[in-house]
C-alpha cells in the first residue's frame, strides 16, 4: 500500500472541502483506493493535511502531476502546496 501525503494552505476550509469532495471521482479514476484522511491544523484551520491510499506508487505520482488535480486545487482555493510525500506501508 502506498500513501500520498499532501499538506497545503487554503483560503477557506469549507470552500476547499467542497472542491475536494467533488474531486472524488477523479481520484478514483486515477487509482486511489478510497482510503483517505483529511486533517486540519489545530492552530490554523486553513492548513490541511490529506493522506490518500493508492495501490501503485506510479499511479500516485501520476495523479500529483495531473491537470485534474491542479485545476481542482486552483478552483478550491489552495494558496500554498507546502508538501507532497509518497509513503509506503510495510514491515
Structural domains present in the chain: 2-88 (3.30.70.100)
SS3 63: helix
pTM (2 decimals)? 0.91
**Mean pLDDT score, 9-34:** 95
Mean pLDDT of 11-17: 97
**Residue 15: other Cβ atoms inside 10 A:** 14
CA 17 distance to own-chain centroid: 11
Compute the distance between CA of residue 22 and CA of residue 63 in angstroms, rounded to an integer. Answer: 16
Residue 91 has pLDDT above 80, yes or no: no
Amino acid at each position: 500500500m502506498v500513501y500520498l501525503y499532501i499538506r497545503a494552505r487554503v483560503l477557506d476550509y469549507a470552500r476547499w472541502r467542497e472542491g475536494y469532495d467533488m474531486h472524488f471521482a477523479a481520484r478514483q479514476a486515477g487509482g486511489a483506493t478510497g482510503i483517505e484522511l483529511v486533517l486540519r491544523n489545530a492552530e490554523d484551520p486553513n492548513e490541511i493535511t490529506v493522506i490518500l491510499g493508492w495501490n501503485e506508487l506510479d499511479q500516485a505520482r501520476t495523479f500529483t502531476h495531473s491537470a485534474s488535480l491542479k485545476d481542482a486545487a486552483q478552483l478550491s482555493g489552495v494558496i500554498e502546496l507546502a508538501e507532497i510525500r509518497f509513503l509506503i506501508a510495510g514491515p
